[in-house]
């Protein structure tokens, strides 16, 4: 049971735990962006420039695949063990990356970092749900979302500073003190309530099938159209293998007594709708995160630092709305809060359709700010609703499924938008795309993002009314 204190913040009785969760989240958030501005420097020192995309893909793949597994294992083995294991894996991976003697060693370190991140993200969200009441969680999610906001701005800047004035290796060595502090505080201050009854057995077969099928699916989505053509033998083989293994996984978990990921949870309306919302959130966010900077640089002609302003506006709006969403969902309910948020997302996404070759950068920033506000009222409340609908024994699983859906949506967004841009914009002899063609491609990307925003609004309306969600919660607790 959560503590009786209603105080939420870093100075409260639970402040040290919240700070450790923020530090752990910062590890994941920083390493998702900090390497971007240093990749050219790394390639020049270690060689193998063609392997640079794998510095990103390896991290994202490992993180996405391990997320649902970590969520379920936290229900079986305990939150504390899983988040400490995640922090330890991230620490080892960071040391290996910083000491890497070749591109292969660096990619291996990024895999370990991704596995650690895949445990840290869902388990930190689950711990927050365990120790804070429903009324407090929105403000806590605002704290965690603010970490992503700051990291999206600070990460690329730090990467550039380290690679230019010190060494790119400090991009990874800086994680060491953060890991040590986060692990020490969690060890000392977080006391997990004792478990009752016997632990469920670990579904090793399901874990293997999920890992293989997810890896092939995400690999096919991330590398299709870049490393190999969509209509090619490697693409058919990878995606076909994902389908076969995915079918085998679904058949297994529907018959298993204690599956590693219980897909039957998705039959509950609040969890199914929240998971679908999370998937579309990934599509919208990655579409804008990837291509708004490209639009600002390639079409409007701004430098990377100024172009980042347009994207930073979204990262400011998100935690601002998330930290205040509790007032709305306690008064109006989760469904209406998510519906209002998705309406703001539509307003922001559709305003990108008005952007052109002579638009002011502030117009793009205003659009992304609206999207950020909408996401704070949509992504956060729907996750809280899903967590609140289940008992403690399955909260980690629900959080892991929700986080994995967002990763899958991100991969889908990158795949769809990337295919559009590659088919429309041609690259000139100087390695830069034609401005007019790039603007056409950006317009098509913004159409995809707007359509996804409309789908997000429809899914938000499918969230059950609070009385129906409460009924599902009572049924879940009775079953547990």
Please tell me whether residue 392 adopts helix, strand or coil conformation. helix
Residue 428 binned pLDDT confidence (cut-offs 50, 70, 90): low
The pLDDT of 22-43, averaged and rounded, is 76
1 pLDDT higher than 50:
no
Q: Where are the domains of the chain?
A: 13-200, 203-259, 264-480
> Which residues lie across from 427 on neighbouring strands?
433
pLDDT at 480: 46
Lookup: tokens for 214: 């997810």
- 115 versus 465: which is more confidently predicted? 115
Please tell me the number of Cα atoms within 13 Å of 319 on its side-chain side: 17
Instruction: Determine which of 151-160, 328-337, 377-386, 428-437 has the lowest per-residue pLDDT on average.
Output: 428-437
- pLDDT, tens only, 386-415: 988 888 888 888 988 998 898 888 888 878
Lookup: tokens for 18: 């919240």
- pLDDT, tens only, 193-203: 777 667 778 88
Residue 36 binned pLDDT confidence (cut-offs 50, 70, 90): low
Question: Under a CB-based contact definition with an 8 Å cutoff, are residues 413 and 316 in contact?
Answer: no
Lookup: tokens for 415: 């795949």
CATH 1.20.272.10 correct for 264-480:
no
- 72 versus 469: which is more confidently predicted? 72
Question: Under a CB-based contact definition with an 8 Å cutoff, are residues 10 and 132 in contact?
Answer: no
- pLDDT, tens only, 235-293: 899 999 999 999 999 999 888 888 888 888 888 989 999 999 999 998 998 888 878 88
pLDDT at 166: 76
pLDDT at 392: 80
Instruction: Determine which of 159-173, 176-190, 445-459 has the lowest per-residue pLDDT on average.
Output: 159-173
Question: Under a CB-based contact definition with an 8 Å cutoff, are residues 108 and 51 in contact?
Answer: no
pLDDT at 239: 92
CA distance 57 to 223: 8
Instruction: Determine which of 66-75, 193-202, 204-213 has the lowest per-residue pLDDT on average.
Output: 193-202
CA distance 313 to 149: 9
Instruction: Determine which of 83-87, 145-149, 412-416 has the lowest per-residue pLDDT on average.
Output: 145-149
What does pLDDT average to over the chain?
A: 83
- 165 versus 431: which is more confidently predicted? 165
Name the strand (E) or helix (H) holding 296: none
Instruction: Tell me the C-alpha to C-alpha distance, in Å, between residue 428 and each of 226, 297, 301, 425, 433.
Output: 17, 16, 16, 10, 6
Please tell me whether residue 303 adopts helix, strand or coil conformation. coil
CA distance 137 to 128: 7
CATH topology identical between 13-200 and 264-480: yes
Buried (b) or exposed (e) across 419-448, using 16+ Cβ within 10 A? Answer: ebbbebbeeeeeeebeeebbbebbbbbbeb
Question: Under a CB-based contact definition with an 8 Å cutoff, are residues 381 and 323 in contact?
Answer: no
227 pLDDT higher than 80:
no
CA distance 252 to 209: 9
The pLDDT of 79-102, averaged and rounded, is 91
pLDDT at 158: 74
Q: Which of 369, 344, 182 is nearest to 288 (CA)?
A: 369
- pLDDT, tens only, 95-143: 999 898 888 888 899 999 989 998 998 899 888 888 888 778 777 877 8
CA distance 145 to 269: 26
Q: Is 360 left (phi over 0), alpha (psi -120 to 50) or beta?
A: beta
40 pLDDT higher than 80:
no
Residue 152 binned pLDDT confidence (cut-offs 50, 70, 90): low
CA distance 457 to 451: 10
The pLDDT of 28-50, averaged and rounded, is 72
Q: What percent of the chain has pLDDT over 90?
A: 24
The one-character DSSP state at 366 is H
Among positive and negative, which fits the CA dihedral 32, 37, 42, 44?
Answer: positive
The pLDDT of 42-48, averaged and rounded, is 75
pLDDT at 96: 93
- pLDDT, tens only, 305-348: 677 777 778 878 888 888 788 888 888 889 999 999 999 999 99
Q: Which fold has domain 13-200?
A: Growth Hormone; Chain: A; (1.20.1250)
**What is the Rg, in whole angstroms, of the alpha carbon atoms belonging to the chain?**
22
């Amino acid at each position: 049971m959560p503590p009786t204190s209603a105080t939420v913040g870093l100075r409260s009785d639970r402040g040290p735990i919240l700070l450790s969760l923020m530090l752990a989240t910062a590890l994941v958030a920083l390493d998702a962006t900090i390497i971007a501005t240093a990749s050219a420097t790394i390639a020049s020192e270690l060689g193998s420039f063609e392997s640079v995309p794998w510095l990103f893909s390896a991290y994202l793949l490992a993180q996405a695949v391990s997320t649902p597994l970590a969520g379920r294992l936290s229900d079986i083995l305990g939150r504390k063990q899983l988040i400490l294991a995640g922090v330890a894996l991230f620490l080892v991976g960071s040391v290996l990356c910083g000491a890497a003697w070749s591109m292969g060693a660096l990619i291996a370190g990024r895999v370990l970092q991704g596995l650690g991140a895949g445990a840290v993200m869902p388990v930190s969200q689950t711990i927050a749900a365990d120790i804070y009441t429903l009324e407090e969680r929105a403000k806590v999610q605002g704290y965690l979302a603010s970490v992503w906001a700051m990291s999206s701005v600070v990460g690329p800047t730090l990467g550039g500073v380290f690679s230019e004035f010190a060494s790119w290796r400090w991009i990874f060595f800086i994680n060491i003190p953060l890991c040590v502090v986060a692990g020490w505080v969690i060890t000392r201050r977080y006391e997990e309530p004792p478990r009752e009854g016997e632990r469920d057995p670990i579904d090793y077969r399901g874990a293997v099938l999920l890992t293989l099928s997810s890896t092939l699916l995400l690999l096919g989505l991330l590398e299709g159209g870049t490393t190999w053509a969509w209509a090619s033998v490697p693409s058919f083989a990878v995606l076909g293998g994902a389908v076969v293994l995915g079918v085998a996984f679904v058949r297994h978990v529907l018959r298993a007594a204690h599956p590693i990921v219980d897909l039957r949870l998705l039959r509950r309306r609040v969890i199914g709708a929240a998971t679908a919302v999370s998937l579309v959130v990934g599509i919208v966010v990655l579409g804008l995160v990837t291509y708004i900077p490209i639009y600002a640089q390639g079409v409007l002609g701004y430098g990377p630092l100024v172009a980042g302003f347009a994207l930073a506006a979204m990262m400011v709006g998100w935690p601002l709305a998330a930290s205040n969403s509790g007032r709305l969902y306690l008064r109006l309910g989760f469904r209406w809060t998510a519906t209002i948020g998705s309406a703001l997302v539509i307003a922001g996404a559709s305003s990108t359709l008005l952007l052109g070759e002579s638009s002011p950068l502030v117009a793009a920033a205003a659009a992304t700010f609206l999207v950020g506000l909408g996401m704070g009222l949509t992504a956060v409340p729907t996750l809280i609703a899903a967590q609140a609908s289940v008992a403690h024994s399955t909260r980690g699983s629900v959080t892991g499924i929700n986080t994995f859906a967002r990763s899958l949506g991100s991969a889908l967004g990158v795949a769809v938008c990337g295919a559009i841009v590659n088919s429309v914009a041609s690259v000139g002899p100087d390695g830069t795309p034609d401005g007019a063609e790039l603007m056409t491609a950006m317009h098509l990307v913004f159409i995809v993002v707007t359509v996804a925003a409309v789908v997000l609004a429809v899914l938000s309306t499918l969230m059950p009314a609070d009385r129906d969600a409460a009924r599902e919660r009572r049924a879940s607790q009775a079953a547990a």
